[in-house]
Amino acid sequence: MFAMIRKELLVLLRDRASLITLFVSPMLFITVMSLALSNSFDTLGSAPKMNISIVDQDGGIAAKNVVKALGGSDELKVTTGLSGDAADKRVRDGKDSFAVVIPAGFEKEVESGRKPHFSFVVDPSSSRQAVDPLQAAIRSAVLTVTSSTRTAVSLEKQRAAEHDPVRKAQLKKQIDKIDETWSGVTSTSTFPKGMTGVKYPSVYQQNVPGYTVMYVFFIVTVMAGSIMVERREGTFRRLLSAPVPRWQLLLGKVVPYLMVAVAQVGVLMAFGKLVFGMDLGVHPVALVPITVALGCCAVALGLLLASFAKSESQVNGMGTIVILVLAALGGCMVPGVFMPDFMQDIAGFTPHGKALNAFQEVMVKGADLGTVLPASGFLLGLAALFFVLAVPRFRFVK
């Protein structure tokens, strides 16, 4: 058994064409497609409506000035005077791209010289590329308003304390501190109540797992091809005369290619991570069960193909068609978010789509082991089905 695995891997190592197919060509695809598509992925998500609302929960001078400053602009429609909940609802309903919330205590922070804080409530589906600059502009507007307000207030207070040396010294200290810290406002972004973020994959988080899944399935033709060769050359027949049970001969084919599939995923994910800095998510361990299940599925499909194909050219022809069509349907080449809904539904039922989705759940949304088990189970079930269909038809000799 160990001898079979060793032999299979040795043979594969000598087969440069297959190695290139399984390892090098997906790297090239990932690189080229990522460079070609890098722009379109940054704009993933709907273009934002240039509507925002401002909620003033403080009512101080600084807050009023901020509202005033943001108020008038042709590109930007601003709704004011809303309660926090009302603004939240407008974002949730998709009326506004985000709301700016100025919390109570804002004025105090401005006065005391601490960095004043405010927050955004953002529609998770709006495009980062459009929202980010707008938020940056608002941040700098808040900064300008608060610092000038601060200056004005402190000047006024200074004048009032003109004849009180103790008070004057105190003020001086305060102003010095403001100078140190006034360069800042802080802001946080949250989603409206009850909404979780829809995060979009980066171009690498699409292409790396996409082409990985697609090329793992190339194992189907490589494996079926190697079975056809052993049939043609009579090495299988020879092994049938050796004291090796048939199931071991089968496993001797299945196990090494499963190992190759796992190695493929490992190598390509590492390639994405090391070369492109692709994010693997918070629980990279969760990639493991998907990988194993994906490998099983590909290997079982290879066995199925070898059981039904009549010739080596049929293996290559049928294999390639199956691989490419399933990869396209599964969203390996064109990401699902670019597809109409019904296509996305179809993708969900292909092994490719299932595996790719599960990979992205982990990498993009930080899914953990438990979350990816159903998808892994689906792939294993499919593998079992292929296996059960293949084994009774499998022949070792022509």
- In the complex, the residues that contact another protein under the rule CB under 8 A are 2-4, 6-7, 10-11, 14-15, 233-235, 237-245, 397
Q: Is 102:57 a contact under the CB 8 Å cutoff?
A: yes
Nearer Cβ to another protein, position 194 or 243?
A: 243
**Tokens of residue 171, six digits:** 């003020």
Contacts of 341 (CB under 8 A, 6+ apart): none
Strand partners, 98: 52, 122
Q: Is 188:120 a contact under the CB 8 Å cutoff?
A: yes
Nearer Cβ to another protein, position 166 or 242?
A: 242
| C-alpha pair distances (Å), 297 with each of 149, 246, 254, 301 | 65, 21, 11, 6
Write b or e for each residue in 112-148: b if 16 or more Cβ atoms lie within 10 A of its Cβ, otherwise e: ebbebebbbbbbbebbbebbeebbeebbebbbebbbe
Q: How far is the CB of 257 from another protein (least distance, A)?
A: 16
Nearer Cβ to another protein, position 247 or 342?
A: 247
Q: Cα–chain-centroid distance for residue 128?
A: 14
Q: How far is the CB of 244 from another protein (least distance, A)?
A: 5
- Sign of the torsion angle spanned by Cα atoms 202, 203, 206, 209: negative
Nearer Cβ to another protein, position 239 or 346?
A: 239
Q: How far is the CB of 246 from another protein (least distance, A)?
A: 10
Give φ, ψ of 161 to 5 degrees. Answer: -95, 15
3-state DSSP assignment of residue 210? helix
Q: Report d(CA 236, CA 247) in Å as an integer.
A: 12
Q: How far is the CB of 236 from another protein (least distance, A)?
A: 8
Nearer Cβ to another protein, position 276 or 396?
A: 396
Nearer Cβ to another protein, position 234 or 317?
A: 234
Give φ, ψ of 183 to 5 degrees. Answer: -70, 5
Q: How far is the CB of 398 from another protein (least distance, A)?
A: 11
Q: How far is the CB of 333 from another protein (least distance, A)?
A: 33
Q: How far is the CB of 215 from another protein (least distance, A)?
A: 22
Nearer Cβ to another protein, position 6 or 177?
A: 6
Q: How far is the CB of 229 from another protein (least distance, A)?
A: 9
Nearer Cβ to another protein, position 3 or 274?
A: 3
